[in-house]
Amino acid sequence: MISFIASFVAGLAGWTLLEYVIHYWLGHLPKGRILISSEHLKHHGDILYFTPLRLKIRGAVPVLVVLLLIVGGACGLPAGFGFVAAVSLGWTTYEWLHQSIHVNGPRSAYGRWAARHHLSHHFGRPNFNHGVTTPIWDLVFRTYAPVRCVHVPKRFHASVPWLASAFDGRTEFQAFLSDYELV
């Protein structure tokens, strides 16, 4: 029997793959033909649009139940609960980080990297950098593109509030302006 702790660690790793699958395979590849994809394309059209929480929960619950049944059935219920707890934590952290990237701005070196990595995906490179919390699966599936400077089209100047205030010279985020260029 796999311990709760070992399955929790496996669940954190499993979340990173699930994040990539949801974002790229279900968000981009169907081109709006399924609910996840149409919601994701709304987010690309208006990067301050986020799928309502009720829809996120409605999508997450069946996934978590299936994971519990699979891992719990194969390795025992403690392992199943550990795995699902970790995936839930990863998913929640992803949702917080993703919204923070768009709305609040980076507060750490990791946040700065994540913002640059993810915003490059939005501003001109939608076929790359699908991992928001980690680039691991982008590297594995060859959808990783290194980012030095994100080229932000002027028409999207105000679409990321913290970045707009930095471009306008108003906030502590001015230190990050070397990561972005208005074009």
The answer for residues whose C-beta is within 8 angstroms of residue 40's C-beta and 6 or more apart is 23, 26, 27, 28, 51
Question: In one letter, which amino acid is 178?
Answer: S
pLDDT band at 127 (very low <50, low <70, confident <90, very high): very high
3-state secondary structure of 158: coil
Coarse DSSP helix, strand, coil percentages of the chain, rounded to the nearest 5 percent? 65, 5, 30
CB 135 within 8 A of CB 80: no
Q: Over the stretch 10-58, which tens digit does the pLDDT of each residue have?
A: 999 999 999 999 999 999 999 999 999 999 999 999 999 999 999 999 9
Domain residue spans in the chain?
Answer: 4-111+124-146
| pTM score above 0.85 | yes
Point out which residues pair with 180 in neighbouring strands.
Answer: 150
pLDDT at 173: 87
3-state secondary structure of 182: strand
CA distance 116 to 29: 23
